[in-house]
Structure 1
Amino acid sequence: MKHLKFILIISAAGAAAAQTASPVSLNLVLSLVSTVKVNGKATEQLTANPKTTLPGDVISQVVTVRNSSDKTVRQFPVTLPVPKDTRYLNMEKELDGAQAQYSIDGGKTFAPAPLKRRVTVTENGKSVTRDVTVNPNEYTTVRWTVSELSPNGTLKLGYRVQVK
């Protein structure tokens, strides 16, 4: 069994962002995603803040962004690292409202998906440089740019990872 050490890392990052002078606060919820049968039909079940996980488990990470001011907040980033010992899977369904960008270098650079990487290979004795598509499981950080959040408004953003 693997202890969810990465919860503390992400929670600390969210708490640090929430303690700034900004009117924007973040609340991160991690949930274990499992499939259960309800009336004979497979249904997804989320268990918030699981104590342990196993390799292969899927974790949903959803951050609630709240504007506690009486003014609209515009063009601000919300950044979440992909926890170590996990791999990025996909965005949470039905959570839309900000443009997502991804990083493969720990958050130094970001771009919209699909990310590309330049590689040099030898073909027929010659060195050739090509752009290749990066597999999403190599993403290290996700950043959303929220265009605007109304006074006292909230927005949910999130993605799923799989425990290695």
Structure 2
Amino acid sequence: MKRPLLTALVLVAAGVAAAQTAQTVSPVTLNLTMSLVRNVTVGGKVTEQLTPNPGNVLPGAVLSQVVTARNTTTKSIVNLPIMLPVPKNTVYLAPEQGLDTTRAEYSIDGGKTFAAAPLKKTVTVTENGKTVQREVEVKPSEYTTVRWTVRELPANQTLKLGYRVQVK
């Protein structure tokens, strides 16, 4: 049974990108592209095929979510924050390969706080009948938001940032 790609999933991410453009960095336009990632065999070799804006996806499908930032001014923009939420009904997998190498920071609380990977959190556990607190590494599947801070985006230039998610 096919499950349609939640239109809200795309609209939420696009809306956040658009809202961020309007509120935070008006001289920058952000364009979000979501593509279905499939492995196909061509000439005996397995290669990736990206299908932009897929109409339907199944649970387990991998999606590439890429935001293109464009400086529309005639001056460089420095320390440009770009945030992209991990869409509902998906889990974060990994950064998209082959894109800009701007360092990403991650949030597990919906974008309230950010840190570089690997993230840590404190959990309370019971060991030998005693309650103790332990610091554990957060799994990437728990990430809720990704933020990049672009050191400099030159005038009239673009860059692409992104990551992959898997549909629940």
The match for 1:74 among 56, 73, 78 is: 78
Distance 1:41 1:97 in 2: 28
Residues of 2 paired with 1:133 and 1:97: CA distance?
23
- Cα deviation code 1:123-151 (max 9, x no counterpart): 22332211100110011110001111001
Moved more, 100-109 or 17-26: 17-26
Deviation at 1:96, TM superposition (A): 2.7
- Residues 1:14 and 2:55 are matched in the alignment: no
* In 1, Cα distance between equivalents of 2:40 and 2:111: 36
Q: Aligned letter for 2:10?
A: I
Instruction: Provide structure 1 residue ranges, at least 5 long, that are not aligned to the other structure.
Output: none
- The counterpart of 1:124, out of the listed 123, 128, 131, is 128
Report how far residue 108 of structure 1 moved: 0.8
Give the corresponding residue for 2:69: 65
The aligned amino acid for 1:73 is I
Q: Deviation digits for residues 1-24 of structure 1, max 9, x if unmatched?
A: 222220111111122223346211
Amino acid across the alignment from 1:47? T
Contact 1:67 1:73 (C-alpha < 8 Å) held by counterparts: yes
Query: 2-side partners of 1:22 and 1:141: how far apart?
Result: 21
Amino acid corresponding to residue 49 of structure 1 in structure 2: N
Answering whether residue 148 of structure 2 is matched by residue 144 of structure 1, we say yes
TM-score, normalised via structure 2 length: 0.93
Number of positions where the alignment pairs a residue of Structure 1 with one of Structure 2: 164
CA distance in 2 between counterparts of 1:38 and 1:71 reads: 44
Correspondent of 2:117 among 97, 105, 113: 113
State the AA in 1 paired with 2:70.
R
With structure 1 as the length reference, what TM-score do the two structures score?
Answer: 0.95
Once residues 109 and 73 of structure 1 are traced to their aligned partners in structure 2, the CA distance between those partners, rounded to angstroms, is 24
Q: Is the 8 A contact 1:100 1:145 kept in 2?
A: yes
- For residues 112 and 82 of structure 1, the distance between their equivalents in structure 2, rounded to whole angstroms, comes to 16
DSSP-derived class of the 1:19 partner:
helix
Percent identity at matched positions?
60
Supply the RMSD in Å over aligned alpha carbons.
Answer: 1.2
Stretches of 4+ aligned residues off by more than 6 angstroms: none
Paired amino acid for 2:163: Y
Instruction: Note the C-alpha offset of 1:81.
Output: 0.5
